[in-house]
Amino acid sequence: MSRRRFDQAMQSMRGTDPRAREGAFDFLREHADAYVDELIGEFGAERDPGLRCWLLELLAEARSPKALDVFRGQLESMDESLQFWAVRGLEMLDTREADRLLEQARDDGWIA
C-alpha cells in the first residue's frame, strides 16, 4: 500500500466532510494491517480525542503485535473510549502477552 494513499486518508479523516471522513476511515479499516507503523505514528502525534479513538480502533482491526505497547499505554487512560479500544485491541491480538496485560489491568482495577 502506498504512503500517499495513507496520507490522503488521514487528511480526509481530519476534514470537515462527514462522508469523506467515514470513507477514509473505511478505507483504512480495510487496509489497517498494511499501515500499522503509520497508524502507530499518527496515534502518537494526534491530539484530537475523536481521531485518537478512531486510530486506536484501526490498530485493533489490524491485529498486529506491533501495537501491543500502544494498547498497553491506553489501558490506564482516563478516556473511556481509548481504554475500550485498548482492551478490544488486546482481545483481538489474542496472544499470551496481551492476555497477561488484560489480566494485570483487571487485577490493578483499571478495567472490569
**Whether the Cβ atoms of residue 56 and residue 43 lie closer than 8 Å to each other:** yes
- List, for residues 20-42, the tens digit of each pLDDT value: 999 999 999 999 999 999 999 99
**Whether the Cβ atoms of residue 23 and residue 55 lie closer than 8 Å to each other:** no
User: What is the percentage of the chain residues whose pLDDT exceeds 90?
Assistant: 97
Mean pLDDT, residues 80-89 taken together: 97
pLDDT at position 112 is 86
pLDDT at position 13 is 98
**Rounded CA separation 54/94 (Å):** 21
**Whether the Cβ atoms of residue 35 and residue 6 lie closer than 8 Å to each other:** yes
Q: pTM for the complete prediction?
A: 0.95
Which of 37, 40, 39, 44 is CA-nearest to residue 13? 39
How many of the other CB atoms lie within 10 Å of CB of 1?
12
- List, for residues 37-62, the tens digit of each pLDDT value: 999 999 999 999 999 999 999 999 99
